[in-house]
């Protein structure tokens, strides 16, 4: 753990991420090298076709990105992101695993793999983070 002493501290901090938490996203694991977030697929996550809405998948990946990059000395915001949707979900739960590709002084690049609980690859998200000035970072 970096800024957060325990995963419960991180969960408390990210409970203020209302859009993610109100959509059922939870922070499952967090350490210096990776974060894992997940959500149970509900009817509210489905599009008109019956598949999981791309925005729900993106939000899960973005949350995993945020948890990983903000467990450091400086607040980090997404500067650029991209997502490739690979397959429709077949399971009942989505799991996003974020890992650093590069962690530099002022920016970082994070790969987030989203899979369902059957192991099926659902999406690949790449985020470039910009590290903000540490002043005012209240945790």
pLDDT (tens digit, 9 = 90+) per residue, 23-43? 999 999 999 999 999 999 999
The pLDDT score that the predictor gives to residue 136 is 44
Pick from 46, 48, 73, 68: which is nearest to 57 by CA? Answer: 46
What residues contact 65, with CB distance under 8 A and at least 6 apart? 35, 78, 81, 98, 110, 112, 125, 127, 129
Taking the domain 7-131, which CATH number applies?
A: 3.10.129.10
What residues contact 85, with CB distance under 8 A and at least 6 apart? 54, 57, 122, 123
The pLDDT score that the predictor gives to residue 98 is 98
The pLDDT score that the predictor gives to residue 135 is 54
The pLDDT score that the predictor gives to residue 2 is 63
SS3 49: coil
d(CA 1, CA 94): 24
d(CA 65, CA 96): 9
- Name the stretches of the chain with pLDDT < 50: 136-139
The pLDDT score that the predictor gives to residue 133 is 79
* Predicted TM-score of the model (pTM): 0.92
What residues contact 82, with CB distance under 8 A and at least 6 apart? 125, 126
Domain extents in the chain? 7-131
The pLDDT score that the predictor gives to residue 139 is 42
The pLDDT score that the predictor gives to residue 35 is 97
d(CA 9, CA 85): 32
């Amino acid at each position: 753990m970096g800024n957060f002493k325990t995963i419960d501290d991180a969960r408390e901090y990210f409970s203020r991420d209302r859009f993610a938490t109100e959509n059922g996203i939870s922070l499952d694991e967090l350490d210096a090298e990776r974060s894992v977030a997940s959500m149970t697929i509900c009817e509210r996550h489905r599009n008109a076709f019956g598949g999981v809405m791309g925005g729900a998948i993106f939000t899960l990946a973005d949350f995993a990105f945020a948890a990983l990059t903000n467990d450091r000395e400086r607040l980090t915001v997404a500067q650029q992101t991209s997502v490739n949707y690979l397959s429709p979900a077949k399971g009942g739960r989505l799991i996003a695993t974020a890992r650093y590709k590069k962690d530099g002084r002022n920016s970082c690049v994070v790969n987030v793999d989203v899979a369902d609980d059957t192991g099926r690859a659902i999406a690949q998200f790449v985020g470039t983070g910009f590290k903000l000035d540490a002043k005012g970072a209240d945790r």
